[in-house]
Structure 1
Amino acid sequence: MSPHERSAGLRLQLPSPLVELDDDRAAARGVRLLLKRDDLINPEVPGNKWRKLRLNLDAAQKQGHDTLLTFGGAYSNHIRAIAAAGRHYGLATIGVIRGEEHTPLNPSLAYAADRGMRLAYMDRTTYRVKHEPEVTNRLREEFGDFYLVPEGGSNALAVRGCMEIPAEIAEPFDVICCAVGTGGTLAGIAAGLPEGARAIGFSALKGGSFLTEDVRGLQATAGTPTGNWRIETGFHFGGFAKRRPELDEFIADFGQRHGITLEWVYVAKMLAGVFALIEQGTFPEGTTVIAVITG
């Protein structure tokens, strides 16, 4: 695969770079830490967004759809990615946003609208059952036919797309880590691991223990069940899209050490968790850990 693959006008850096991190905290514990820089795949559809969307976009076109519909919150990166990908693929896009409309649009929704996405709004009660047939049928009556991409993009095709992440890694490794929001990325990574390797997901949600069943369900749907993964739920720093001073301190320190500004909703929490496990001695000396920077 070319390092700069082109797809529907998107310039993609694939395989994404693998960079070894020179960090005294890991070195002191005898742990080798590498970053899988999926955030550099494409600025508009970065990281796990591209991994999860690629096969869905192909399926939408093969099935003759000209419109994508998906769901998300008012600050959803998934909404932004669908809008950008739809524009590049020549597909109309509809974003069903949780809650009431607020104007002017925030930067995320303004970005999506600028790329041609039609925005609709759904009350929070209905949103909780958004994938029920009664709701999706009503949406089809309103908007016509569409290809449905679930919230966060996680479905069987997304799992298969994320299986490509370990396949790109030529370096031998023991553990691979990623953030978890809806579970699709972890489900795919775990399904694509070489024998003997294991995966750890770090929940960005408070009370994220339910994600274990979600990941199992996604793997079952994709026909790829594995037992080589687990989820850490203690590194949410207050809950989804919430932050605490210690997370900001970690981000600032990491930027000074390595010149990388971490996305804070998912990635910084995951990496803070990785370093905490290193400090706790969770990884034996000689372990090679890869952290996926999903963007």
Structure 2
Amino acid sequence: MKKVLISAVTALLLFSCQNDQTAESKDSEATALTRRACASQQVLDEQLRADPTLAIRMNEIEAFTNKALISGKLVNGKVQIPVVVNVLYRTAAQNISDAQIQSQIDVLNKDFNALNSDYNSVPALFAGVKANVGISFVLDQIIRKSTTKTSWGTNDAMKKVAQGGLAPTSPTTKLNLWSCAIGGGILGYAQFPGGAAATDGVVIDSKYFGLSGAANAPFNLGRTGTHEVGHWMNLRHIWGDATCGSDLVADTPTHNEENYGVPAYPHYSTCSGTPVEMTMNYMDYVDDNAMYMFSTGQKNRMAAIFVTGGARAAFGI
């Protein structure tokens, strides 16, 4: 098990790690992907280059998070998050139905409250740290807009009216989701706490949004949403976006790198101590049907952003 990194300098170095994915424009109607690709770290790297003060804000959030974890001053009671879904569509398939949107909200509620049917599939080795995060979601509003764009990329164009997108609604008190054709093989991406309110939220390609309609296997169980909302709540990829890196959580094993598909259990890391990797964690890159848990350390890290003084305290806790 790794130790939590609390040094601001170390955290800044972590934030600068590069994820190798690209977001080249490709037609959204291309063949369904078979390997998960999340652009959250790539987008963060670009935001850090564009705004040096973001690193300072994120280091302050990291210091606050660690202080909250050490003091035990975390959220008491339930957090309920109103969700605004912004649908940008060129084709009928991209104009996802209200039912498909609600299915994504339902998946988030199950996955963040240990109500997912595969929760009890967690191996005995990790049963002691599997967690009910205790955060719920309610659909607040759906906003739709027709567009001629074939793909939006990862430069936040879908969030900007001047570029044909939809601006976020009340982003300091509501979670905004965008459903659109991202392109470049990217399933989704999120903005970490500390970023600008004007671009805050989560983007999910319409083909991988929720359970029905256009959702495509092996990413048809809504877990792209769960993964990206985890980022929005300050979780890192479980491998720390570096070989044998740190996700800043104490109870998750060190991973060599991302895992894909449906890994056989146990899958051993070659990092120090050769731990069994927690491949079924929502913050790995495995298929939707192979991820089904958060850890207690991840739960506490997410809870820390909602306490008074936390990065998302405006959600009314």
The answer to which structure, 1 or 2, has the higher relative contact order (CA under 8 A, 6+ apart) is: 2
TM, length-normalised to structure 2 = 0.25
Which protein shows a greater Rg?
A: 1
- Looking at secondary structure, tell me which structure has more helix per residue: 1
- Looking at secondary structure, tell me which structure has more strand per residue: 1
